[in-house]
Amino acid sequence: MRRGTARHIKAGNIARREQDWPAAANAFRQALASEPHLQHLWVQLGHMEKEAGEINLATSAYQEAARLRPEDAEPLIRLGHMAKSWYQPAVAASYFVNALQRDSENLQAVSELVRLMPDRDEVDPDLWSAVLAVLKIDPSDHMLEDCGPLPPEAMVFDVTDLIAFFGQRRLPTGIQRVQIEISLACLDRTFDPQPVFCVYASARRGWIRLPHESFEVLCRLAKQSDDIEDPAWKSQLDHVYREIAVARTIRFSPKTVLVNLGTSWSDRNYLLDIRISRARDGVVYVPLVFDLIPVIGPQWFMQSLVRDYRTWFGSLLHSADGFLAISQATRDDLVRVSVDWSAPVPQESVPVVRLDGDFRQASPDGNSLQNYGLEPGRYVLLVSTLEPRKNHQNAFEAWLALADTLGEAHVPRLVCVGGRGWLNEDLHRMLRDRPALRRMVIILHGIPDDTLATLYEHCLFALYPSFYEGWGLPVSEALSYGKVPAISRVSSLPEAGGRFAQYFDPGDPADIAATVRALLHAPTRHSAEAVIRSDYVPRTWRGIAQDVVAKSRNIPSRVQNTLPCLAGAGQWTLALPHQTDVLDPPSAETWQGEALRHGRAWQSPGLSGCRIDGDDAALRFHWAGLQGAMLHIHFTPSRAEAAAKIAMDGLDQTCRIRPGMPEIMACPLPNVAKPLWITIVPIIGDVIIEKIEVTTLPVTGA
């Protein structure tokens, strides 16, 4: 490499660190002017041009990188990501196909292709043939057959976020563990009725059936290790991705019950398509609700997560027929918060499915503890992700207090098992600053299920000092292994622990220490263990799965009752929420607008609003019927002229949007209370709606 080239590259790297994208791109461009054969630098130039918003220049840079190294798939993957972000799914799919032609084992390209592939009835024949070729699927394979519509009243389990989780990680945490155990119970050939498992595909705006056999193998492999590079794991995940890519879109039948076993906030249009399926196909949608903690305790999370959760939750209240709550505490939270958010959910539509499952499984003998420097019966186990809500800090304070009282030599080690978490800098600083704490505390990540079983079997007892829970799976885990859980006296934890647990105030380290000290007394601990052995009976996961099926089937459709209700003046945004203080109470402007959307022509919301592409877009809500009220639709300024036709109650209006000029279309709302369906059809150009506003006439005195 020439000296001048190296100088330009150094300048580009400095500008990149300072996020001065144009300067970085200019420096890399100068380096390439003298040495255009440096393929990796073309990739870097593509990154910088993309960040600077120069999409055409970024495309050219990535294409040159792809030309210089015909065996390298990365530039094509980058091009695919760009095309996807610019709503060009067919173009993006072609890039990922080209990437797989270069590297047939590239799991990232396969997973991206899965998300982008439309149903084969809607895909270009040449692209379809290329997809089959790179995925090594015979066109006559039985998996390509159309299975027809689902039978009436089918039971369908949505595990979209579990499959997405597997794309990044392997070893399940709380929510994933529940999904896996319920799924494995239902996948047993003797389970009746046999549910259909599916994943949501944003490109199709619909759901895809998962083959039972492949999904079952993947679930069992997930529990065995955290090694995402394991050839068996990668091969099975790749196989499942390939099956999803070419499977037919599910056709729902009337009264299909769609139960989401996880969460659904990864895709901005998921709940929109739920509302469409409920109205069009008679689907009854029932999500399993684990907790409402980002709403109840936003201080425990990053602000971006809380904003996304609020937007999703506000829409969920208008998109679900009912809910399955994992505890009475979670049910009470949901019913109460739904009233606060002006979308009340009746209690009878929120049955409880307790997660008091049996977590016991075979494990290595106690000698395996030596790998972690542990001895049987010489440690207390705390299983949870390292995050503020789990309250490791007060547990650590309790351990320091015990060392002061009993002497460090007489205090068992505290073994913390869980994910790396977030917002835990204070916790790590505490460990760095307190040598005694470092000697008493061990933190373990990536522990597979069999090793976790060994840790439970040989611990003195379990500790769970969480400030708030939806259920508290580690409590059920400890009881399954006959161990006493010492736990917080808050939220759902008394439901999980019952009379078998020992309780403390999670905000009081002295109370935690007193409870721990009591259980260090062997006769006290053995007496509590004897009660667990004789009286505690965990449920089988088959029983929990049957509970899920039975209770979700009893939830009736509430399509009309879940429409958003507009009862006066206000604004409802269709754009993504902006930076706000998440500790402030949520307002209708930040969450209810998304739920007004109906129809497949709506694209995913963006920072400036929500684009409409096609003639199937509407606003749907229940209007309170105030006199003199006006509806105002705010259009985002376009770069070129645009126009849209709006229709309500048989009256049509046309709105023209001039380049660079905001436009507001106003129409009177009826004086009577009624459901409203307002269609919006683009006529010319890009039509993007920023927000909906209702104004009312001021009330005058008599």
Q: What is the DSSP string of 564-602?
A: -EE-SSEEEE-SPP-S--TTSPP-HHHHTGGGGEESTTB
Write out the H or E segment, with its range, that includes residue 231.
Answer: helix 231-246
**Burial category of 371 from C-beta neighbours within 10 Å (exposed 0-12, middle 13-18, buried 19 and up):** exposed
pLDDT in tens, 74-110: 999 999 988 877 767 788 889 999 999 999 888 888 8
Q: What topology is assigned to 3-134 in CATH?
A: 1.25.40
As a whole number of Å, the CA-based R_g of the chain is 28
Per-residue pLDDT tens for 396-405? 999 999 999 9
Instruction: Give the containing element (helix H, strand E) for 327.
Output: none
613/381 Cα distance (integer angstroms): 54
Query: Residue 702 CB: number of other CB atoms within 10 A?
Result: 2
CA distance 14 to 26: 12
Task: Name the residue type at position 516.
Answer: V
Domain ranges across the chain: 3-134, 146-349, 366-538, 563-695
Picking from 290, 43, 317, the residue whose alpha carbon sits closest to that of residue 178 is: 290
Could you tell me which of 244, 242, 235 has the C-alpha nearest to residue 200? 244
pLDDT < 50: residue spans in the chain: 588, 702
Q: How far apart are CA 234 and CA 110, in angstroms?
A: 12
Q: Which burial class, exposed, middle or buried, applies to 355 when counting CB atoms under 10 A from its CB (0-12, 13-18, 19+)?
A: buried
Q: What is the pLDDT of residue 585?
A: 59
CA neighbours within 13 Å on the CB side: how many for 62? 24
Supply the pTM of this predicted model: 0.87
On whether the CB atoms of residues 550 and 351 are closer than 8 A, the answer is no
DSSP states of 357-399: B--------GGGGGGGT--TTSEEEEES-SSGGG-HHHHHHHH
Listed in order, strand segments (DSSP E) in 130-283 are 155-158, 196-201, 206-209, 257-260
Contacts of 394 (CB under 8 A, 6+ apart): 465, 506, 507, 508, 509, 512
The CATH number assigned to the domain with range 563-695 reads: 2.60.120.260
- For position 576, what pLDDT does the model report? 80
Assigned CATH topology for domain 366-538 = Rossmann fold (3.40.50)
Distance in angstroms (rounded) separating the CA atoms of residues 265 and 275: 15
Q: Is 126 left (phi over 0), alpha (psi -120 to 50) or beta?
A: alpha
Pairing of strands 651-657, 565-566: unpaired
> What amino acid occupies position 334?
L
User: Cα dist. 192→138, 182, 250, 605 in Å?
Assistant: 33, 13, 21, 40
Cis ω before 193 (30° cut-off from 0) = yes
Beta bridge partners of 196: 156
Q: Which string of b and e fits 173-199 if b means at least 16 CB within 10 Å?
A: ebbbbbbbbbbbbbbeeeeeeebbbbb
b/e burial code for range 644-665 (CB count within 10 A of at least 16 → b): bebebeeeeeebebeeeeebeb
Strand partners, 415: 381, 442
Sign of CA dihedral 313, 316, 317, 320: negative
